[in-house]
Structure 1
Amino acid sequence: MNLKSSLCKLLFVFILVFVCNLGGARAQGFLRAEGKQIVNGQNQSVILRGMGLGGWMLQEGYMLRTAEFAGQQHRIKAKMEELIGPERTQEFYNAWLQNHTRKIDIDSMAAWGFNSVRLPMHYNLYTLPVEQEPVAGQNTWLEKGFQMTDSLLQWCKANRMYLILDLHASPGGQGNDTNISDRDPAKPSFWDSEANQQKTIALWRKLAERYKDEPWIGAYDIINEPNWGFQSKEDKNGCAEKDNALLRQLMVDITKAIREVDQRHLIFIEGNCWGNNYNGVLPVWDKNMGLSFHKYWNYNDLSAIKGWLDLRDQHKVPIWLGETGENSNVWFRQAIELVEGQGIGWAWWPLKKLGFNNPLEVPMTPGYQKLLNYWNNKGPKPSADEAYASLMELAENLKLENNLFHPDVVDAMFRQVKSTETIPFGNYSFVKKLTIPAVNYDLGRNGFAYLDKDTANYYISTGGPRTPWNRGTTYRNDGVDITQDSVSKKFFVNHIETGEWLQYTTAFEENKATTGTLKLLVASDTNTSKLTLSVNGDVVKAGMGVPNTGGPKKWKTVTLKNIPLKPGKNVFRVIAEQGGFQLQSLEINVK
């Protein structure tokens, strides 16, 4: 069974177990702010554990690996139109919107443990841009966005999950970080245009009117990550802003429009500086309101969230980690443990993209890579038919059944938050022979399932650099460095440092103890590498030299004999006494 089919099988096991036990979808009542907590209709405290559907309604360049030449969605779309024309480009976007998020995606998230979904909305799926309105000052409503939201709400309701509506791209764009809102700097921004502001207010009134009676709509997140210097243009993202008067006024006006038709739904507001600068914004102006903050790439200790805890205490309002992610499994577990320990819910980012540090990964195709090479001036121009075919193949790969499932990410976000127990990555039971890919070490925390010295990125706290924890940025999202051989396509562990180790839990299906042989497939270009093997906590081979195989990808088998095996569970650890070698697989043989 190949890697993709193995991971898909594991994914569907996750889903099947959940769906078979799924109860009815009766809501527990509207979520609301009750002092410093979010509660449901039974006055029970609710911790939101959510996932943001980034990349669905709104593409960002880094998710498609186009950030260097086209960060905003409209620029990505223009690149496609140059190659395949407007009609075929629209076909691609129709397929993208259809395939990215479906019921099976929401079923999967519920099975993994999520109880909420954050929908990053692009306004242009709900209404026309102001410059395209047939009558200035009026609003043309588009059914596409509303129908997509209706479908998503039904999937969430079926899974007893709250749906949080998040205006991620406002008319004109709400900040100088143009990618996150698909802003075109050549046109008036949200803040520079009364027409854009009025359209946004009208859109929220329309949404609230449509969903006012839906208790599974968890909240309205009214403006995502404002980042604008109102007092100083040099303060591009509003991080030094002291006043934020226009931001506050616009959010007050949006709230008023919502409350004209909807008195029951919780409203989240976000400060300037990507949601984090609340100077001049507070106190809150509505009794059913919470504060959202966003957290990336900093330490996961109380000092990192002290400012938010202080605001919660001072203003007696709930706080919500409305967006976070894009880091390692270690960072994920730490962050969730931190905020949940303070009674704070969260929404991760994103569910899927071209990249490894999310639950689902959209596979890169050779055709799309050729297209990227052309756009990056590193390859020839494809024909229109070739480009169209590669883009439609990418859209097909958006479907969950074509995604790569990363169980280690889900495990870190839920099970590892509450447990230090390790579990096998796969079913590694055997009688006579077992081969384990080295990259399939146990699922669990650093220091329990593996030990790696570089496990997360904290560059905001440390001042840089922004380096990956897994240098190969593939297969798994732990600190363990993994890469793929370009010829054999097999994954292996590399950059193994002194003191690091990997653990593998197996099940020997015999009723008496015996001994076996362990074969390790290694590669090294040094004469100093050494490893130690422990079995069930006892060292059985210490300080054994790893041969110089002539290169980091020239593989040789190292055989260790007389390895003790007991009936049932056996735990192997491969420990780097002296690093500098690579490990591809372990093979256990019993005569």
Structure 2
Amino acid sequence: MEINRIVKMKKLLVILLSLSLTSYVIPAAAQGLHAEGTKIVNAKGENVILRGMGLGGWMLQEGYMLKINKESQQYRIRERIEDLVGPEKTAEFYDLWLKNHTRKTDIDSLKAWGFNSVRLPMHYNLYTLAAEKEPVAGKNTWLDKGFSMTDSLLAWCKANRIYLILDLHALPGGQGNDLNIADRDPSKPSVWDSEANRQKTVALWKKLAGRYVNEPWIGGYDIINEPNWGFENPAEDQHGLKEQKNAPLRKLMVEITEAIRSVDQKHMIIIEGNGWGNNYNGIMPAWDKNMILSFHKYWNYNDQASVAHIVKMRDQYNVPAWLGETGENSNVWFTDAIRLLEKNNIGWSWWPLKKIGFNNPSEIRSNPNYNGITDYMNGKGNKPAAGKAYSGLMELAENLKLENTIIHRDVIDAMIRQPFSNETLPFKNNIVSNHTLLKAVDYDLGVSGVAYSDKDTADYHVSTGKTSPGNKGGIYRNDGVDISSDSSRREAYYVSSFESGEWLQYTITVKEKGSYTLTFKLAATAKVKLSLSVNGKAAAKEITVLPTGGLTNFRQLEVKNIKLDKGKQVLRVYADAGGFNFDSIQFQK
């Protein structure tokens, strides 16, 4: 009974979160998308900006999403799991994974949060056999599993008036030398090395297009995800970044388009350049009137120069552009990117909805037995017993359900509200009365420079050559603010590396007007200073904090006679001379 009650409460929290963000929901669009000049429009001719989320990790697991960084293609992960628990239990785990990862509640929530599209990364092996496994060479055995999963997803999208974009993420044989992306086995022929693999790819797209030709909530066909292959100089340019002709890539995309058009004249064809979607040398001009240019964008600056190449090509060839995949960064980067994209009338699809990690809307909870598996697979631990490994895998698969994940409201807010508003919102319902404890990590929701100020806010290593992750602790929230945890206390999070010139804002609701003592819980290795303001007015200036004996050795500092009026108040805590950790504030009247 207690377990059922907890599950119901988790479901209620998901619903309440959805309702809390409904004021930012994008209005439902009319059906049927197509290219019209440089715009994507619906059946009414209205401009549509796709605001989407990719379902990475569902049909195709990339190792990093599972915290596996060695031998991390999906087929190798599965082989290694079989070595731990045997084939039958491995199949049981993968069946539960596919069942739980994406369900109707996920799509319902995406709609409620404000998204209007979904990108489905498909693994070909859920739809057809590998070419070398076909009973009759050159024939195609169709598998019901993938088509059935896609049918269900489309039904959920239709019910929510959300566009579904089909993305062939893993082609037969694989389309690149970044092996995880396409689950590629380098000992076997790639799609570029095998006519059988190319023909199977073409046939699969024809099968999909014939099945969904009359479905207006299919937004388009993203025909080859992130090709990264050196055709002219494979030894020195294995990912095709310097490729000048891209002739095999263009040829295969034209063949796929012709196959689709033989059964479907309605849906948009989405193409991607070489070099992970950005090298379009030799590919243009367009060969179809209903075609979209897709590009991918990670870890670079969010300035006009970062999209200039795709905007120039869009205008030159009079075709729409779409950012088909991006993400894996901080909330600051997300907000800035979306502002840049929509200023240029470019839609977007973030990556991914969920993984074991904090910089996405839904974080999958790990567990100790599964951690034992990842330690072993990453070369950091002993081989776990079969029973413990099986228990860890099945618990992980149960944790895939949205109601069992950690919903990161700050990530959703950074994508849906913050690009269009500088207003701050309380992160939690901070009602202040006598002895109220306010956690430092629960600063306001809002853009950098308004809800908080931090010196290191995002990862721009593609532009700078230096990795700088924003939140160095990688937990709890995805802003620029650094957050760490105390391993001795469950979910005891605190702000770390609170540096000189940084500040945090807290919107509180005071129940009773009066003079309060604010007790700060701080840790420092040297003498530092902090200040406090209330509603923009200085309340305490440059208070000295003495060393506490270590950055995890927290001590209390009382700041007395802070006048607080009844009702909404805005507090800011400033690090004047910083380099300390900040756990909480307790209010005492």
The TM-score, its normalising length taken from structure 1, stands at 0.96
* Counterpart position of 2:394: 392
Equivalent residue of 2:459, what SS?
A: coil
Cα gap change, 1:22 to 1:409, in 2 (>3 Å): closer
Deviations 1:516-575 (A, max 9, x none): 11111111121x211111111111111111121111111111111111111211111110
Code of the residue aligned with 1:545 in structure 2: it is: T
1:397-408 pair list within 5 angstroms: 397-408=399-410
Code of the residue aligned with 1:516 in structure 2: it is: Y
CA distance in 1, matches of 2:580, 2:21: 41
* Counterpart position of 2:57: 55
Are the equivalent residues in 2 in contact too, given 1:7–1:404 (CA < 8 A)? no
* Counterpart position of 1:556: 555
CA distance in 1, matches of 2:25, 2:465: 46
Q: What displacement does 1:85 show?
A: 0.9
1:330-479 pair list within 5 angstroms: 330-464=332-466, 466-479=467-480
Cα gap change, 1:158 to 1:60, in 2 (>3 Å): same
Are the equivalent residues in 1 in contact too, given 2:460–2:468 (CA < 8 A)? no
Q: What displacement does 1:5 show?
A: 10
* Counterpart position of 2:94: 93
* Counterpart position of 1:307: 309
CA distance in 2, matches of 1:559, 1:24: 49
Matched, 1:13 2:16: yes
1:521-540 pair list within 5 angstroms: 521-526=521-526, 528-540=527-539
The partner residue of 2:251 within 229, 249, 255 is: 249
Are the equivalent residues in 2 in contact too, given 1:7–1:405 (CA < 8 A)? no
CA distance in 2, matches of 1:315, 1:95: 45
Equivalent residue of 2:270, what SS?
A: strand
Q: What displacement does 1:505 show?
A: 0.6
CA distance in 2, matches of 1:581, 1:8: 38
Are the equivalent residues in 2 in contact too, given 1:494–1:583 (CA < 8 A)? yes
CA distance in 1, matches of 2:248, 2:238: 15
* Counterpart position of 2:209: 208
Q: What displacement does 1:152 show?
A: 0.4
Q: What displacement does 1:377 show?
A: 3.0
Equivalent residue of 2:538, what SS?
A: strand
Instruction: Flag structure 1 segments of 5+ consecutive residues without an equivalent.
Output: none
1:72-91 pair list within 5 angstroms: 72-91=73-92
CA distance in 2, matches of 1:368, 1:168: 26
Q: What displacement does 1:384 show?
A: 1.0
* Counterpart position of 1:286: 288
* Counterpart position of 1:578: 577
Q: What displacement does 1:436 show?
A: 1.3
- Once the two structures are overlaid, the 10-residue window that deviates more, 554-563 or 309-318, is 554-563
1:207-226 pair list within 5 angstroms: 207-226=208-227
Code of the residue aligned with 1:49 in structure 2: it is: R
Q: What displacement does 1:430 show?
A: 3.0
Equivalent residue of 1:495, what SS?
A: strand
Code of the residue aligned with 1:541 in structure 2: it is: A
Are the equivalent residues in 2 in contact too, given 1:29–1:215 (CA < 8 A)? yes
Are the equivalent residues in 2 in contact too, given 1:297–1:461 (CA < 8 A)? yes
Code of the residue aligned with 2:106 in structure 1: it is: D
CA distance in 2, matches of 1:291, 1:445: 30
Code of the residue aligned with 2:449 in structure 1: it is: G
Q: What displacement does 1:12 show?
A: 2.2
Q: What displacement does 1:425 show?
A: 0.4
CA distance in 2, matches of 1:34, 1:22: 25
Equivalent residue of 1:570, what SS?
A: strand
Code of the residue aligned with 1:184 in structure 2: it is: D
Instruction: Flag structure 2 segments of 5+ consecutive residues without an equivalent.
Output: 1-5
Q: What displacement does 1:20 show?
A: 12
CA distance in 1, matches of 2:141, 2:469: 45
Equivalent residue of 2:307, what SS?
A: helix
RMSD: 1.9
Cα gap change, 1:148 to 1:4, in 2 (>3 Å): closer
CA distance in 1, matches of 2:379, 2:198: 39
CA distance in 2, matches of 1:420, 1:525: 35
Code of the residue aligned with 2:133 in structure 1: it is: Q
Equivalent residue of 1:552, what SS?
A: coil
CA distance in 2, matches of 1:19, 1:126: 36
Code of the residue aligned with 1:374 in structure 2: it is: Y
- Once the two structures are overlaid, the 10-residue window that deviates more, 28-37 or 422-431, is 422-431
How many percent of aligned residue pairs carry the same amino acid?
59
Q: What displacement does 1:24 show?
A: 12
Deviations 1:146-167 (A, max 9, x none): 0000010011111110000000
Are the equivalent residues in 1 in contact too, given 2:456–2:468 (CA < 8 A)? no
Cα gap change, 1:324 to 1:20, in 2 (>3 Å): closer
Deviations 1:61-106 (A, max 9, x none): 1111112x12210011111011111111111100110111111111
Cα gap change, 1:16 to 1:448, in 2 (>3 Å): closer
* Counterpart position of 1:169: 170
Q: What displacement does 1:19 show?
A: 8.6
Code of the residue aligned with 2:17 in structure 1: it is: F
Equivalent residue of 2:360, what SS?
A: coil
Q: What displacement does 1:260 show?
A: 0.6
Equivalent residue of 1:519, what SS?
A: strand
Are the equivalent residues in 1 in contact too, given 2:25–2:112 (CA < 8 A)? no
Are the equivalent residues in 1 in contact too, given 2:14–2:403 (CA < 8 A)? no
The TM-score, its normalising length taken from structure 2, stands at 0.96
Q: How many residues of Structure 1 are paired with residues of Structure 2 in the alignment?
A: 582
Cα gap change, 1:395 to 1:547, in 2 (>3 Å): same
* Counterpart position of 1:46: 48
Equivalent residue of 1:554, what SS?
A: coil
